Structure 1
Amino acid sequence: MSAPSADVEIHLRKAGRTKIRYPAALLADDGTLVTVRAPWAGAGVRDFGFVRFEPGDTFVEHYRRDRWYAVKEVYAADGALKGWYCDVTRPAVRTGSVVTVEDLDLDLWCSADGGTILRLDEDEFAASGLAATDPAAAEAALRALSDLERLAGEGLLPRSRAS
């Protein structure tokens, strides 16, 4: 719907509070899917053991208004795809130049070669209490994680170019 190149700000919320905000370049918005490109927004290096996010990395992020997840392609400074980091979230909302998503703790990692697919933070999800406070959202989150795992296993996660 909107032309690529406009700037947006990503607001990632968790438990009702803004966890992080960062600027991104809007690549596309078709009314259902918002795609942006952003540099690694963290401070310094974040080493998960299975992947390192570090200054110079580029993320191409796909936010959906019709699904309970966001998919982030992670590229190294040299342009090599590291893999996909997928967040289970409530459907994205874009208001003007702000894209907001609510993180629901569950995550999935898929390596660039598809050989490693990891479900992450299931303990955080269980401890969040979402199953008790919003059972429908908890069910949707668990379905989203299973959907992401299936997409990763079938090689169907989005792939674009970092630059």
Structure 2
Amino acid sequence: MSVLSAEVRLVKAGATKIRYPAELLSDDGTHLVVRAPWAAPGVRDFGFVRFEPGDVFTEHYWRDRWYSVKEVRTGAGVLKGWYCDITRPAVAGGGEVVVEDLDLDLWVSADGRTVLRLDEDEFAESGLADRDPQAAEEAVRALDELELLARGGSFSDLLG
């Protein structure tokens, strides 16, 4: 049996921010799931979590939602938490998943006790509210929705 693959491309301000190969786990036409190792070089220490070589990301993308959710585990399988990117709905086809990062992010720790809204200053400085007010409104709504799910304890239900 062959493994299906996909390339994930994260776009920010019209330019490709990162591109990496991933294993396609499922795609029902609306929600698709891929798995990939930590793709950036070296360690990224956010203070509340470290992403490092060996970490495995199970990434959930939707074609009808303004976010993606990445479950982050160590190479040994220990859950670190979930990193959520606020994005335009994913565009997928031809072996590629493309998402446009809208600067807002949410972190949810493995135990669910820590829920952090991230990069709201970057979002404000991006000028999206002036360029595309509807997209800015959708982005804030998506961040609020994810935070509500995380604080309500039903976050893992989102991932099915």
Aligned to 2:46: 48
Distance 1:32 1:110 in 2: 23
Map residues 1-163 of structure 1 onto 2, 5 A cutoff. Answer: 5-158=3-156
What is the aligned-residue identity percentage?
Answer: 68
| Aligned-partner residue type, residue 81 of structure 2 | G
> Please, which runs of 5 or more residues in structure 2 have no aligned partner?
none
TM-score under structure 1 length normalisation: 0.93
Secondary structure of residue in 2 paired with 1:79: coil
Q: Which amino acid aligns with 1:63?
A: Y
Secondary structure at 2:155 match in 1:
coil
Residue type of the alignment partner of 1:46: R
Number of aligned residues: 157
Is the CA contact (8 Å cut-off) linking 1:85 and 1:108 kept in structure 2?
A: yes
Structure 1 unmatched ranges of 5 or more: none
Q: How far does residue 78 in structure 1 lie from its aligned partner after superposition? A: 1.4
Provide, for residues 32-90 of structure 1, a one-character-per-residue CA deviation record: whole Å limited to 9, x for no partner: 00100000001010000000000000000000111000000000121100000000000
Give the Cα separation in 2 of the matches to 1:70 and 1:77: 21
1:66 partner amino acid: D
Give distance in 2, aligned partners of 1:158 and 1:68: 17
Which whole-Å CA distance do the structure 2 matches of 1:18 and 1:144 have between them? 22
Partner amino acid for 1:25? E
**Offset from partner CA, 1:132-162 (integer Å, 9 cap, x none):** 00000000000000011011112333478xx
Deviations 1:106-146 (CA, angstroms, capped at 9, x unpaired):
00000000000000000000000000000000000000000
Distance 2:93 2:137 in 1: 26
Amino acid at match of 1:10: V
Q: How large is the Cα RMSD of the aligned pairs?
A: 1.3
Provide runs of 4+ in structure 1 moved above 4 Å: none
Alpha-carbon distance between aligned partners in 1 of 2:18 and 2:156, rounded to the nearest angstrom? 23
SS at match of 1:23: strand
Q: Secondary structure at the match of 1:148?
A: helix
Aligned counterparts of 1:113 and 1:27: Cα–Cα separation in 2:
25
Where 1:132 maps in the other structure, the secondary structure is: helix
